[in-house]
A = this chain, B = another copy of it.
Amino acid sequence: MNADGMRTSPPTLHDVARVAGVSLATASRVLNGSERKVAESFRERVEKAAEELGYTANASAQATARGTSAVIALLVADIADPYFGQIAAGVARGADAQGLIVTVAITERDADREAKILRALRGQRPRGVILAASRAETPDARTTAELAAFAPLGGRTVTFGEGGDRSIRIDNRGGAERLGREMAARGYRRAIAIGADEGVRTSDDRLAGFTAGFGDGGGRIERVYRGTFERESGAASMTTALAEGVDAGTLVFALSDVVAVGAMTAIRDGGRSVGDDIAVCGFDDVPVSRDVTPRLTTVRVPLADLGYEAFRATVDAEWEQPPLELEVVVRESTPGR
């Protein structure tokens, strides 16, 4: 403190120890929940001093001294996208419960950026990194290299899809296959797929699965429109499809709900209607699929739970992904024929 009693910099453990009249070590022991015993009288004095001074341990200093940080790094393509929002919520739930900090970085679906961020993240020496944004078919080489670089740092990497120390696996193919089968069962025979993201594993699996299931039921995918997993991309693809002609009774398989929502808007803007005219189904079951009209038929993926699992996977010594059955949810956007 200076003359007028105003503190000019935050109180340190040293200050607390001095005020309490104990050693640095003792102060540290009572304030950081170490195992070692401290006499009650000392403990009280330290706590009182810490309280008075408004002391909070400096996390960076603790991390340097301990050699481990308390951060979980999360990488997503776009935090405002409901798909990633759900995942992030799950990760945050787990981390908060353990007193860990979660940092968020945005890749903007750019592999280059992804690798750069991963590299920068290394400096954080995170306890774990969760990559929920990879866009590559086979994991991008740079991403793989950066991911590997976390090993010597002691941090565990968990990826949605392949590439990390541990993976969160979603049976995109199986889910899509069931969806395709169900759609065929409901009488659809012709379909177009939109939002298929070139070189993205998730997209390819979903497309392959749907094609198989729908085919088994006697249906056929007539055209595939490429794009990204973004709303605008879905709208653009649908607009193009409409321009090329879409017969009434056609089913649109959007490779993600977000894409489906964009497509629904485009269908209406094109003067058509969703449902009996053009049916639409998606994948993910993000919250918005229940809010659109007609409500969207889709495949439910418990994203928040998976985010939580991803968190567990970063911190638990033993971990195994719980079995996950993707459920087809039929709603009004596919009334059947």
Q: C-beta contact mask, A50-91 vs B, less than 8 Å → 1, else 0?
A: 000010111111111000010100000011111001101100
Inter-subunit contact A123/B291 (CB<8 Å): no
Q: CA–CA, A298 to B58, complex, Å?
A: 45
Closest-by-CB residue of B relative to A105 is: B96
Is the CB of A18 closer than 8 A to any CB of chain B? no
Inter-subunit contact B304/A290 (CB<8 Å): no
| Chain B hits for A2, CB < 8 A | none
Residue numbers of A with Cβ under 8 A of B are 7-10, 54, 56-64, 69, 71, 78-82, 85-86, 88-89, 92-93, 96, 99, 101-106, 117, 119-120, 122-125, 149, 152-153, 231, 261, 264-265, 268, 287-288, 290-293, 304
Number of copies: 2
Inter-subunit contact B99/A102 (CB<8 Å): no
| Chain B hits for A287, CB < 8 A | 80, 231
| Chain B hits for A119, CB < 8 A | 56
Inter-subunit contact B125/A60 (CB<8 Å): yes
Contact A58:B123 (CB < 8 A) given known A89-B79, A291-B288: yes
Q: CA–CA, A81 to B304, complex, Å?
A: 13
Inter-subunit contact A304/B103 (CB<8 Å): no
| Chain B hits for A92, CB < 8 A | 79, 104-106
Q: CA–CA, A189 to B264, complex, Å?
A: 33
Contact A104:B103 (CB < 8 A) given known A64-B58, A89-B78, A265-B290: yes
Closest-by-CB residue of B relative to A104 is: B104
Closest-by-CB residue of B relative to A78 is: B89
The minimal Cβ–Cβ distance linking A244 to chain B, given in whole angstroms, is 24
Tell me which of B59, B104, B152, B291 contacts A124 (CB under 8 A). B59
The minimal Cβ–Cβ distance linking A312 to chain B, given in whole angstroms, is 17
| Chain B hits for A59, CB < 8 A | 60, 123-125
In the complex, 29 of the A-B residue pairs with CB atoms within 8 angstroms, ordered by the A residue number, are: A8-B152, A10-B153, A56-B119, A56-B122, A57-B123, A58-B64, A59-B125, A60-B61, A60-B63, A60-B69, A64-B64, A71-B103, A79-B92, A80-B89, A80-B304, A82-B82, A82-B85, A88-B104, A92-B104, A92-B105, A96-B106, A99-B120, A101-B105, A103-B103, A264-B293, A288-B288, A291-B291, A292-B293, A293-B293
